[in-house]
Structure 1
Amino acid sequence: MKNNAFIHENFLLSNKFAQELYHNYASKMPIIDYHCHLSPKEIAENKVFENLTQAWIYGDHYKWRAMRTLGIQEKYITGGASDQEKFEKWAQTVPYTLRNPLYHWTQLELARYFNIDQLLSPKTAAEIYHQASERINTKEYSTQGILKKMNVKVVCTTEDPTDTLEHHQASAKSDFDTHISTSFRPDKAIMIGQAGFVNYVRAVEASSGIAINSYRDFKYALLQRIKYFHENGCRVSDHGLNSIPFTTYNEAEVTKIFNKRLENQNISTEEILKYETAILRYLSQEYHALGWVQQFHLGALRNNNSRMLAELGPDTGWDSISDYPQAENLSKFLNSLDLEDQLTKTIIYNLNPSDNEVMASMIGNFNDGSVKGKVQFGSGWWFLDQKDGMTKQMNALSNMGLISCFVGMLTDSRSFLSFPRHEYFRRILCNLFGQEIEQGELPNDMPWIGQIIQDISYNNAKEYFNFK
Structure 2
Amino acid sequence: MKAFLDQDFLLQSETAKKLYHEYAKPLGIIDYHNHLIPEQIANNTQFENLSQVWLNGDHYKWRAMRTHGINEQYITGDASDREKFRKWAETVPYTMRNPLYHWTHLELQRYFGITEQLNADSADRIFDQTAEQLKDSSHSVRGLLKMMNVEVLCTTDDPLDNLEHHQAFAKEQESFRMLPAFRPDKAMQAENVEALNAYINQLETVANVSIDDLQGYLDALKARHDYFAENGGSISDHGLEQVYAADFTESEINQIFSKIRQNSSLSEDEIIKFKSAMLLYFAQWDHEKGWVQQYHLGALRNNNARMLEQNGPDTGWDSIGDFVQGKALSKFFNKLDSKDQLAKTIIYNLNPADNELFATMIGNFNDGSVRGKMQFGSAWWFLDQKDGMTKQINALSNMGLLSCMVGMLTDSRSFLSFPRHEYFRRLLCNIFAEDIENGELPNDLEWVGKLVSDICYHNAKQYFNF
Quote the residue 1:322 is aligned against. 321
| Equivalent residue runs for 1:166-185 within 5 Å | 166-185=164-183
Gaps of 5+ in 1: none
Q: 1:127: Cα distance to partner?
A: 1.2
Q: Could you say what secondary structure the match of 2:155 adopts?
A: strand
CA RMSD of aligned residues (A): 1.0
Q: Distance in 1 between matches of 2:49 and 2:136?
A: 10
Cα distance in 1, alignment partners of residues 97 and 359 from structure 2: 27
Cross-structure match for 1:433: 432
- In structure 2, relative to structure 1, the CA distance for the partners of 1:5 and 1:138 (3 Å cut) is farther
In the TM superposition, what are the counterparts of 1:34-73 in structure 2 within 5 Å?
Answer: 34-73=32-71
Match of 1:357 in 2: 356
Equivalent residue for 2:286?
287
- How far the C-alpha of 1:126 sits from its partner, in A, is 1.4
Give the Cα separation in 2 of the matches to 1:377 and 1:184.
20
Report whether the alignment pairs 1:459 with 2:436. no
Matched, 1:220 2:219: yes
**Cα distance in 1 for residues equivalent to 2:392 and 2:177:** 28
User: 1:463, CA displacement in angstroms?
Assistant: 0.4
What is the match of residue 406 of structure 2? 407
Corresponding residue to 2:4 among 3, 6, 26:
6
1:253 aligns with 2:252: yes
Give the letter for the 2:163 counterpart. Answer: L
Per-residue displacement from partner, 1:397-424 (whole Å, max 9, x unpaired)? 0000000000010000000000001000
How high is the TM-score relative to the length of structure 2?
0.99
Residue pair 1:7, 1:111 contacting (<8 A) in 2 also: no
- 1:131 is aligned to 129
CA-CA distance at 1:5 after TM superposition: 5.1
2:419 and 2:242 map into 1 onto residues whose CA distance is 30
1:6 touches 1:117 (CA, 8 Å); kept in 2?
no
Listed as ranges, the matches of 1:50-449 within 5 Å are 50-194=48-192, 195-449=194-448
* 1:419-440 deviations in Å (ceiling 9; x for gaps): 0010001001001111111000
- TM-superposed CA distance for 1:266, in Å, is 1.7
Tell me the secondary structure at the aligned position of residue 159 of structure 1. Answer: coil
* Structure 1 residue 133 displacement after superposition: 1.2
SS in structure 2 at match of 1:20: helix
> Which amino acid is 1:132 matched to?
T
Q: Which one-letter code corresponds to 1:439 in the other structure?
A: N
Provide the C-alpha distance between the structure 2 equivalents of 1:112 and 1:266, rounded to a whole number of angstroms. Answer: 52
Superposition TM-score, scaled by structure 1 size: 0.98
Q: CA deviation at 1:137?
A: 1.9
Q: Provide the rounded CA distance (Å) in 2 between the counterparts of 1:371 and 1:357.
A: 22
Rounded Cα–Cα distance in structure 1 between residues aligned with 2:270 and 2:100: 42
Structure 1 residue 210, shift from structure 2 partner: 2.3
The alpha carbon displacement at 1:177 in A equals: 1.7
Contact 1:144–1:176 under 8 Å retained in 2: no
- State the AA in 1 paired with 2:46: V
CA distance in 1, matches of 2:22, 2:238: 36
Contact 1:377 1:397 in 2 (8 A): yes
Judge which range, 313-322 or 204-213, deviates more: 204-213
CA-CA distance at 1:98 after TM superposition: 0.6
Report the residue type matching 2:216 in the other structure.
Answer: D
- The offset of 1:246, in angstroms, is 1.1
Between the aligned partners of 1:316 and 1:232, the Cα distance in structure 2 is: 30
Structure 1 letter corresponding to 2:38: P
Q: Deviation per CA, 1:40-64, whole angstroms, max 9, x where unpaired? A: 0000000000111111111100000
Aligned partner of residue 349 in structure 1, secondary structure: strand
Q: Provide the rounded CA distance (Å) in 1 between the counterparts of 2:153 and 2:451.
A: 23
> C-alpha displacement at 1:4, in angstroms?
7.3
